Amino acid sequence: KPIRFWLIFGSLMAVTCLTAVDMTIISTTLPTIVEELPASNISGSWVTSSFLLTTTAFQPFMGGLSDVVGRRIAIVIAVLLFMGGSALAAKAETMLILVIGRGVQGVGGGGIQTIAEIVLSDLTTLRERGIFVGLVSLIFAVSTFIAPVLGGFFSEHNWRLVFWINLPIGVVALALIIPTMKLKTPTMPFWAKIHRMDIGANLILLASVVAILVALTEGGITHPWSSWRIWVPFTTGWLGMILFFAIEFIPNRFSPDPVLPKRLFANRTAATCFLMTFVHGLLTYGLIYLLPIYFQSVKSASPLHSAVQIFPATAPGPFSAILAGILMANSGKYRMQIWIWWSITLAGCGLLCLLDSNTPTYQWVLFQLVPGFGVGALFTLTLPPIQASLPVEELAHATATFAFCRSFGSVWGIALGTNVFISVVNTKLSQIQGLAEFGLNGTTALGFTTNLQKLPEQFQLPAQNAFMSAIRTSIYVFCPAAFIGLLISFFIDELPLPDFNES
């Protein structure tokens, strides 16, 4: 590869580091943030959900934008949005402003993820792409297991540094991107550019995702699931999603150049991989947000120590991703690998169900290692089959749809995991007489994970048992998802991975 390739690839690694740090650094810091900010009607889970919401909703738009203005301008816009949202979150004095800042970050983060994957696909062949995706995954994984440690450290000193740290990383990323990423921008008429961004349909998508996430985040916590305040936004959101896909799939004047065209899903392998990517995102992010809660509440770990203790879940990922990429590059095949890694992931989810308050160190290390290897390899293996099954002209749309499915899965994973946890822990805690006067209930549980030892002694063990029961129930939810991922992987065709690039 020429030097220019490696300079561009280095810039992709820099922006990957930027988003990876922010996606996981909050996992160990959230309890501290919830505790230190003034009390609010806005749940602390929105600190995470708002980021994932805008990340998901804007990824298809950002994919279209990269075709219109070019890869470099689009990714610079994304990085600047991310840095602006970081500054707003760092200065936040209320939960509302923090959630808004995280939402702005998510717009930029979604664009960074999507455009980086598009650029990587522009520059590599299908056969070798797995290796480079693995290398990017290495940076992603290194960032994701360093970030929680940084988050734990910052939460014990000044949690606002969690967001300020993004600014110098963003400056370095821009310094690499602007002079190197000089890729050709497709020429098209002005109205064709407007149509390519599919603004109207993307606004419907944004509103629909917001409504669904409001219902998932608040249901069973601030209002019962039977309340109209929950089922109205939930129903409206899904009706909006149906409208969005109808606009995208059925030819119409409103969306002449859809960002998620029906032809992407007409191919069985592509459609199966999109669904598999959704399940993979749901599993990966749902579990990674539950594990720090386990170590902080049940194992009495500080935020910093809990970050170290989830290393076994995050550290194996880059190694299995690179291994899977090398095997795919050498053999030109991927289907058997996908079956094997999904089986490992399913076994790992089963092992995590065995966690309890008395689990010794060697067991909780092993229980995390197994799914860590599985989900890491699947990061590499899901995109090449999608791109191999579709025309090269669909590269940007296909890659943006892939990123959208993964992020939409992460929205559901985190919302589902935390919602089940909060609902169960609320029920369990309400059964402990006298505990309510200390302010510990489902709504405040996330902010209490590091403070259970501060309760009177007679309440500590019952509260820990309540947390453990809720965590285990939340993990149970993800086992069927892993089985579905394995089951649908049998519908993928083994397609040739050419060693040339037409894009």
Taking only the tens place, the pLDDT of each residue in 162-217 is: 888 889 888 888 888 888 877 776 666 666 667 766 778 878 888 888 888 778 76
C-alpha pair distances (Å), 384 with each of 390, 392, 460: 10, 12, 50
For helices 71-90 and 46-69, give the axis angle rounded to 10 degrees.
160
DSSP assigned state of 216:
H
Q: Provide the whole-model pTM.
A: 0.79
| pLDDT the model gives residue 368 | 92
Q: What length does the chain have?
A: 503
| pLDDT the model gives residue 119 | 84
Of the chain, the percentage scoring pLDDT greater than 70 comes to 90
Name the pLDDT band for 35 (thresholds 50, 70, 90).
confident
Reference 48, options 85, 98, 113; nearest CA is 98
- Determine the average pLDDT of the residues in 353-381: 90
DSSP assigned state of 298:
I
Residues 6+ apart with CB under 8 A from 350: 479
Name the pLDDT band for 145 (thresholds 50, 70, 90).
low
CA pair distance 53, 238, nearest whole angstrom: 15
Whether the per-residue pLDDT at 24 is higher than 80: the answer is no
261-278 per-position pLDDT tens digit: 788 888 889 899 999 999
Whether the per-residue pLDDT at 83 is higher than 60: the answer is yes
Phi, psi at residue 318, to the nearest 5°?
-65, -35
| pLDDT the model gives residue 363 | 92
Mean pLDDT computed over every residue of the chain: 82
Reference 304, options 503, 151, 122; nearest CA is 151
Reference 474, options 450, 447, 446; nearest CA is 446
Whether the per-residue pLDDT at 502 is higher than 60: the answer is no
Range of weakest confidence among 52-66, 122-136, 476-490: 122-136
Two structure tokens written together for 457: 């002694």
Two structure tokens written together for 361: 């160190």
Whose structure tokens read 């006067």?
437
| pLDDT the model gives residue 350 | 92
CA pair distance 206, 217, nearest whole angstrom: 16
Whether the per-residue pLDDT at 335 is higher than 80: the answer is yes
With contact defined as beta carbons under 8 Å apart, do 202 and 58 qualify?
yes
Phi, psi at residue 340, to the nearest 5°?
-65, -50
Whether the per-residue pLDDT at 129 is higher than 60: the answer is yes
